[in-house]
Amino acid sequence: MDELIDIVDENGNYTGTTCLKSEAHKYGYFHPTIHVWLYTSDKKILLQKRALTKKVFPGLWDISVAGHIAAGEDITIAATREVKEEIGFDMLPENLHKIGTRKHMVQHSNGIIDNEFHHVFIAELTIPLEKLTLQVEEVAELKLFDLEIILHTKNHENLLLPQYQEYYCFVYEQIVAALK
């Protein structure tokens, strides 16, 4: 879906301008996004398998929920909205724990230029997997994996992206700390 998003500068500061998401990806404008990593009390991590129709990384096991922040939208509200839209999990903003912001720059072979600032959250998944509902345009499948799997992405085909192992290790450490 093409939506109106805010443009930020190379330091993540809002510029006061907006554009369509497709324009940001065409011209490489920096923009804010959210990543929400959902974990369970028994040390599982929820990953989503991206729909085969996705323009980047189709069919890849990925972050629990990720998405764009609409122009003018509060970051935490965007995170809870994306969680509800993609997997049908209603959660309160206060149950999200922001663990950082990550600058991400990549040019895909299909021409999409992803220059984003990921606002990264962790939260506990408090309902059974079977109660989640998929947004089929975005998500092909959901699965709970042992939390440690995000430390070993190189050993698993089609699971996350090994070049971001440092990021996954950071997320792992934050989740382990939250479980204590």
| pLDDT tens, residue by residue, 137-175 | 999 999 999 999 999 887 787 888 888 999 999 999 999
Measured CA to CA, the distance from residue 145 to residue 49 in angstroms comes to: 12
Question: What are the pLDDT digits (tens) for 45-76?
Answer: 999 999 999 999 999 999 999 999 999 999 99
For position 155, what pLDDT does the model report?
Answer: 76
pLDDT of the residue at 94: 96
Supply the mean pLDDT for the chain.
95
Share of the chain above pLDDT 70, in %: 100
Model confidence, pTM: 0.95
Q: What is the structure's pLDDT at 98?
A: 98
Query: Which whole number is the average pLDDT over 90-119?
Result: 96
What is the rounded CA–CA span in Å between residue 123 and residue 113? 29
Please tell us whether the domain made up of 4-179 is placed in CATH 3.40.50.620: no
Residues 102-130: what's their mean pLDDT? Answer: 96
CA 88 to each of CA 41, 76, 82, 140: distance values in angstroms, whole numbers, following the listed order? 20, 17, 9, 14
CA distance 87 to 138: 9
pLDDT tier, 97 (very low <50, low <70, confident <90, very high otherwise): very high
48 sits in the region (left: phi over 0; alpha: psi -120 to 50; else beta) called beta
DSSP state of 69: P
Comparing 153 with 82, which gets the higher pLDDT? 82
Work out the average pLDDT over 17-39. 98
Q: Where are the domains of the chain?
A: 4-179
Question: pLDDT at residue 39 above 90?
Answer: yes
The confidence score (pLDDT) of residue 171 equals 98
- What pLDDT score was predicted for residue 22? 96
**What pLDDT sits at residue 20?**
98
